[in-house]
Amino acid sequence: MYFNSGYLIFMVPAFLLMMLAQWYVNSAYNRWSRVAARSGLTGAQAAQKLAQRGGLNVTIEQVAGRLSDHYDPRSKTLRLSQGVGQSTSVAALAIAAHELGHAMQDREDYGPLRLRAALVPMVNIGSWLGWILLMAGFALNFTELAWLGVIVFAGGAVFALATLPVEFDASARARRLLADTGIITTQEESSGVNNVLNAAALTYVAALITAVMQLLYYASLVLGMGRRNN
């Protein structure tokens, strides 16, 4: 009932795009993590310098994992993985500056960031409630209930859409910060920063497409049920 050949039609292209995006991220990171920036600053040092320049009161911590870097707005903490915080590579500087861009958004009360944060509870609830409503709708042959499940599932796609301007803006800030402070000085380094940040951006685009395709698949199932009931 929940899996058929239509699932492959909707989801295989999305999964292939996700795989391509992950390959691109790993490829860009691996390449530019081997290229040391002339500034000699580690990712953590660059983040500290940028934070001081921008008057940001953030704590910088090391976190386990690979590419697990993130900014926590609740504790105003910038968490950098060892491969970023302790590395002087172009990739490390790009990632650290990107995460600091989120700290700047937080300080400025950036609208899309607030919208994304507001959507989190809805997405968390929808991730399990949507399934319940869909399964109940199919089990009871209740089309309206199944449509309600699709609507609840739509929260994931809305969240993925709201994420795009947040991430794109953080990357744009990172590029400007690194150039304006002289942390990135050469055309090669600038190209490396763009490569790393563009690769990361593709993953968010792929996530949105995957969420939309999944939503369309569920909608097609409910439409099929509705036609059978007519």
Which is the catalytic residue, given 99, 167, 188, 189?
99
State how far the Cα of 98 lies from the Cα of 100, in Å rounded to an integer.
5
Rg of the chain in Å (alpha carbons): 21
Helix/strand/coil for 62: strand
Task: Respond yes or no: is residue 108 known to be catalytic.
Answer: no
How far apart, in whole angstroms, are the C-alpha atoms of residue 39 and residue 159? 37
Measured distance CA(122)–CA(195) in Å, rounded: 33
Helices 143-180 and 90-108: angle between axes, nearest 10 degrees: 110
Active-site residue numbers? 99
